Amino acid sequence: MESLNFLDLFQGINTLVQGFATDPKIAFGRVFLMFLGILLFYLGRKGVLEALLMIPMGLGMATVNAGVMFFSVYDPASGLSIAAGQALQLPGTLHVAPLAQDTNALMNILQINWLQPIYTFMFSNGLIACFVFMGIGTLLDVGFVMARPFQSMIIALFAELGTATVFPLAVAMGLNPGQAASVAIIGGADGPMVLFTSLTLAKELFVPITVVAYLYLGLAYGGFPYLIKLMIPEKLRALPMPMEKTRTITSNEKLVFAVIACVLLSLLFPVASPLLLSLFLGVVVRESDLPNFYEFFSNTVLYGSTFFLGLLLGILCEAGTILSPVVLKLLILGILSLLISGVGGIIGGYAIYYWSGKKYNPVIGIAGVSCVPTTAKVAQKSVGPGVIVLPHALGANISGVITTAIFAAVYVAYLQPLMRVLKG
């Protein structure tokens, strides 16, 4: 009887050991991503980063890079069968095969990889993004926008500075227009929009762009307060907001706004209509006095979708996928886009500050970066004691969602025909 190799019992260790001999970059990448996943989990648990995303994402990232095993029947990366004698063993996992294209192989993988059905039927077609938007819509009080439409939209437009400026920079760094638009839209700080844009314009980089986007959105919660302190002196951060006479916006008025905005924006930008409908459907449920639907979308749908979104993002951080040379460009451009948008939002806050005769606190500008409601919370936490900016920040926050949808739709509408020509 042939003696049993110790490493054959523990294939995760075996694949790592063999990886150091055959492909050290991937092996070191696996180790790094395992520790990074644990760090993200810890920071999410401590509240430094967004816990809803980072806890499942961090644990998934660490696990997928630990749980690599050998396959001798099919290539888990491509989903294609291995011809006899072509290869004895290939490393892979039992989680997800994101690069699978062959339909027959995909049907087999759906019976093997436990998260493959969720990835194939909810993630890779953008459905999970629509579910998240439905849940977010139930949390949005559009009355904040209706009470201050000019102020909110001005700030939101300034906060798209990264989305606009990183696109030509990304093209100059060698990305094609579709890839450049997909990474530039990270500056809008709206994860579902990034998912939607990259699925449409840069499917080949869909996985790393989406992972980079959500990783940075989690970091925004911890990083933007430092940007505020850098750009806004303490004296201005402590500026109290003026007393305003604003009339109560009724539910019927909010419903009319939601319906008109949804139909009008869909008429102008049909490519974004699934996300627009999902968002405003959530608003309609909120304002229509439908408690059962409200409870379902604001809790079960939103938190269930967010959990599986975070888990899938972590699982997709497999070293072989993430350590592509182009990912370094995405990492640089993604953080640059988000940083410039944050700077643009604060500039917008200063514009409102001076336009109002130095009455409005410029910190509200950061909320134009539409990471709902994270950046609105960041704005409120960054002001002086007793200063209330949340109503103004939420108005800018919700407007940021709309402006990001418009930017994403413009990019897709303009570039999709061009990408067909380039690929043809």
Per-position DSSP letters for 68-123, written without gaps between them: -EEESSB-TTT-PBPPTTT-S-EEE-SS--TT---HHHHHHHHTT-TTHHHIIIII
Q: DSSP 3-state assignment of 383?
A: coil
Q: Is 19 within a domain? A: yes
pLDDT at position 370 is 86
Let me know whether 166 and 270 are in one domain: yes
pLDDT at position 253 is 95
Let me know whether 277 and 292 are in one domain: yes
pLDDT at position 192 is 87
Let me know whether 289 and 143 are in one domain: yes
Q: Is 387 within a domain? A: yes
What is the average pLDDT across 67-76? 76
Let me know whether 79 and 206 are in one domain: no
Where is the domain boundary, 61, 91, 122?
A: 122
Q: Is 80 within a domain? A: yes
Where is the domain boundary, 102, 122, 142?
A: 122
What is the average pLDDT across 11-21? 90
Tokens of 165: 């400026």
Nearest to 79, CA basis, from 113, 114, 115, 29: 113
Nearest to 63, CA basis, from 405, 301, 319, 271: 319
β partners of residue 16: none
Let me know whether 137 and 105 are in one domain: no
Let me know whether 178 and 44 are in one domain: no
pLDDT at position 9 is 78
Let me know whether 149 and 118 are in one domain: no
pLDDT at position 206 is 87
Nearest to 171, CA basis, from 202, 195, 194: 202
What is the average pLDDT across 270-296? 93
Let me know whether 222 and 336 are in one domain: yes
What pLDDT digit, counting tens, does each position of 371-380 carry? Answer: 888 899 999 9
Q: Which residues contact 414 (CB under 8 A, 6 or more apart)?
A: none
Let me know whether 158 and 114 are in one domain: no
Where is the domain boundary, 103, 122, 141?
A: 122
Per-position DSSP letters for 285-331, written without gaps between them: HHHTT-HHHHHIIIIIIHHHHHHHHHHHHHHT--HHHHT-HHHHHHH
Q: Is 297 within a domain? A: yes
Domain count, the chain: 2
Residues in the chain: 424
Percent of the chain residues past pLDDT 70, beyond the cut: 93
Q: Is 1 within a domain? A: no
What pLDDT digit, counting tens, does each position of 341-361 carry? Answer: 999 999 999 999 999 999 999
Q: Is 299 within a domain? A: yes
Residue 278 has pLDDT above 90, yes or no: yes
Q: How far apart are alpha carbons 284 and 125 in whole angstroms?
A: 24
* Contact by Cβ (8 Å): 369, 220: yes
Q: How far apart are alpha carbons 383 and 238 in whole angstroms?
A: 6
Let me know whether 15 and 112 are in one domain: yes
* Cα 203 to Cα 124, 146, 199, 417, distances in angstroms: 9, 37, 5, 15
* Whole-structure pTM value: 0.87
Please, how many CA atoms are within 13 Å of residue 228, restricted to the half-sphere of its CB? Answer: 30
Residue 87 has pLDDT above 70, yes or no: no
* Cα 394 to Cα 20, 252, 364, distances in angstroms: 50, 20, 9
**Confidence class for position 86, pLDDT limits 50, 70, 90:** low
What are the percentages of helix, strand and coil residues in the chain, rounded to 5? 75, 0, 25
Domain extent at residue 32:
6-122
Residue 8 has pLDDT above 80, yes or no: no
Let me know whether 249 and 277 are in one domain: yes
Residue 10 has pLDDT above 80, yes or no: yes
What pLDDT digit, counting tens, does each position of 120-172 carry? Answer: 999 988 899 899 999 999 998 999 999 889 999 999 999 999 999 999 999 99
Q: Which stretch of DSSP H or E encloses residue 91?
A: strand 90-92
Q: Is 261 within a domain? A: yes
Let me know whether 159 and 55 are in one domain: no
Task: Tell me whether the omega of the peptide bond preceding residue 91 falls within 30 degrees of 0, making it cis.
Answer: no
What pLDDT digit, counting tens, does each position of 92-129 carry? Answer: 888 998 877 777 778 888 888 999 999 999 998 889 98
Q: Is 97 within a domain? A: yes
Q: How far apart are alpha carbons 377 and 391 in whole angstroms?
A: 11
Q: DSSP 3-state assignment of 106?
A: helix
Percent of the chain residues past pLDDT 90, beyond the cut: 59
pLDDT at position 1 is 43
Q: How far apart are alpha carbons 387 and 382 in whole angstroms?
A: 10
What pLDDT digit, counting tens, does each position of 359-369 carry? Answer: 999 999 999 99
Bigger pLDDT: 248 or 244? 248
Q: How far apart are alpha carbons 148 and 366 in whole angstroms?
A: 16
